[in-house]
Structure 1
Amino acid sequence: MFICIKYGDNRQFLANINCSVLLLMHYLRDKVGLQRTDPIDLCEENGTLKLLFLVKFPEDNASKFLTPRGTYYICKVERGAPGTKHENSYRAFHPIIKYPPLDLLDSLRNQCDFLEKSRLKILKSQDGKKPPTMESLLSCMANQVVGKTMGKAGANVSGGLDDEGQPRKTTTAAKARLEASRKDKHR
């Protein structure tokens, strides 16, 4: 299962897609002379991005995302400057061909805009959610523990309550054990 990759000044080569997405991306970067860390993607001749740089599991087989015998362009993914608040933003997708058709550039620009708007929408929806504080986590855990203990009332292990939910009366033997444990702690 092969695909045709077009790049540069009317250059092309075949790539086997019966491998992981990660391995295919490393091969493509090496073949066209890009750095291993350069984010890239593939797009169809009409400009439809395959979004391989966003694949959740890069060890997935590339044939799940690409059509055998299809023709693709390599595109460099331009993100925001590292260390700035825009470092994760989508700036542009640049096809690595000498004279890209205008409709290809328009399609890539539209998809870039859509990805950026979607990213901002997700960030905005997450802004209203505050991470839980340690106090709220401890309170929640305490409520769960009490709830589990209350559920064991039928097994006569009710966390100090009798079968009717009332506090148990302390027996003389229990009082003696409690008094003995207090004396041991003070010694």
Structure 2
Amino acid sequence: MSFVIVKYGDNQQKIFNPLCSNLVLLECIRRNCKCDKGVMLDLTDAEGNVKHLNENLQSYATNYLQGRTTYWLIKVEKGTGDNPNKYTLLLDDPEVHVPDLLQRLENLSKPVVRTITRKDSKWGVLSKKLNRKASTSKRPPSNPSTSPGPKKK
């Protein structure tokens, strides 16, 4: 029988059986870890990979979680528009216990800033097309003595 370890609170941990739907597992975690009802919960592994259990509530948790592995309880705040979801470790003093994981989750929570370089902009694409047309129109003239001309009768 497989199980998973969930760390939360004051570096506490509990064992859960993932052989159930994600909905049932998350509700058991909510009840046993004493989390508020309105909080959206999820789990992350040590590398900061969020498991997205909330997005697949009817699927079995064993499809997303590996047995005998430790996961950390996180709170998910849905992002709006271009803003990403915000992930918060539900662990007291995460900077002391798991600073690397905290940094990874903070990076996931930051909005992605896309910088457009000149070559990627519309003007850059347009200038490439214009340069291609200009280079094809600048072909050297053909030699009239070697090129077939109109046939004379």
TM-score, length-scaled by structure 2: 0.63
4+ aligned runs moved over 4 Å, structure 1? none
Q: Deviations over 1:99-136 (max 9, x none)?
A: 212211111122233xx65xxxxxxxxxxxxxxxxxxx
Residue matched to 1:27? 28
Higher helix share: 1
Residue matched to 2:54? 53
**Which residues of 2 match residues 3-82 of structure 1 at below 5 A?**
3-55=4-56, 58-79=57-78
Say whether the 8 Å CA contact 1:79–1:87 is kept in structure 2.
no
- Which blocks of at least 5 consecutive residues in structure 2 are unaligned? 113-153
Q: Which shows bigger deviation, 61-70 or 37-46?
A: 37-46
Residues 1:93 and 2:83 aligned together: no
Question: What SS is found at the alignment partner of 2:37?
Answer: coil
Question: What SS is found at the alignment partner of 2:25?
Answer: helix
- Which blocks of at least 5 consecutive residues in structure 1 are unaligned? 81-85, 118-187
- Give the Cα–Cα distance (whole angstroms) in 2 for the partners of residues 89 and 79 of structure 1: 9
- Give the Cα–Cα distance (whole angstroms) in 2 for the partners of residues 77 and 93 of structure 1: 5
Residues 1:108 and 2:105 aligned together: yes
1:89 CA displacement: 4.5
Instruction: Give the share of equivalent positions with the same residue, in percent.
Output: 31
Say whether the 8 Å CA contact 1:26–1:36 is kept in structure 2.
no
**Matched positions, count:** 108
- Give the Cα–Cα distance (whole angstroms) in 2 for the partners of residues 70 and 53 of structure 1: 19
Question: Which residue identity does 1:27 align to in structure 2?
Answer: C
Question: Which residue identity does 1:62 align to in structure 2?
Answer: A
Say whether the 8 Å CA contact 1:21–1:61 is kept in structure 2.
yes
TM-score, length-scaled by structure 1: 0.52
Who wins on radius of gyration, i.e. which is larger? 1
RMSD: 2.0
